[in-house]
Amino acid sequence: MVDKKIGIYAGSFDPITNGHLDIIQRASNLFDQLYVVLMNNTSKNYLFTFAEKKELVEASLQTLTCDNIQVKVAADKLVAEVAKELGAHFLVRGIRTTADWNYEISMQQINSLQASDLETVYLTAKPEYMFIASSMIKEVAKYGGQITDLVPQPVAVALHQKLGKNL
């Protein structure tokens, strides 16, 4: 019997962007099961709660053409621990720039110390998504700028509602 290929795409997703969705769509084609895992990064300040982010991610995934994705919340765990719990042996990471690459290589080394059987799979961002970062989107939305081409519609609405700006 062949083991199922199970992958995890973990992040803070505050908020999820069109770039994230592209990575999720592409990764879903590589695995039998893909978990999008909402995690905590202690160096970030979040705008949305985990419950709000889970709702936004699930609503955003409705636009994709895949049925092998599940959303999980693991706010207080290491990704290696979550992978073990879910039976995953692959960690999907998106790369936009060389700065991302440098950070991700360090993370891969730390993750391999936690779980030597966890393989990291890197997907590079498409050119139209290379400049999109959740932190930039929050800044633009805060000042009423145009974000509708950068994030899924449910996210644009939620950002403007939370920040008190009009679409």
Residue 124 located in a structural domain: yes
Helix and strand totals (H; E) in the chain = 6, 5
Residue 113 located in a structural domain: yes
Q: Which residues make beta-bridge pairs with 109?
A: none
Binding-site residues from annotation for ATP: 12-13, 20, 94-96, 104, 129-135
Residue 101 located in a structural domain: yes
Binding-site residues from annotation for substrate: 12, 44, 79, 93
Q: Of the candidates 8, 67, 12, which has an alpha carbon nearest to the alpha carbon of residue 38? A: 12
Residue 55 located in a structural domain: yes
Q: Which residue has the tokens 């009009």?
A: 166
Residue 41 located in a structural domain: yes
- The total domain count for the chain is 1
CATH code: domain of residue 83: 3.40.50.620
Q: Which residue type, as a one-letter code, is found at position 142?
A: K
**Residues acting as catalytic residues:** 20, 44, 96, 134
Q: For every one of its 167 residues, what pLDDT tens digit does the chain have, with 9 covering 90 and above?
A: 458 999 999 999 999 999 999 999 999 999 999 999 999 988 888 999 999 999 999 999 998 988 999 999 998 999 999 999 999 999 999 999 999 999 999 999 999 999 999 999 999 999 999 999 999 999 999 998 999 999 999 999 999 999 976 65
Sheet holding 119-124, edge to edge: 69-74, 33-39, 6-11, 90-95, 119-124
Instruction: Enter the pTM of the model.
Output: 0.93
Binding-site residues from annotation: 12-13, 20, 44, 79, 93-96, 104, 129-135
Tell me the residue range of the domain where 36 lies: 6-130
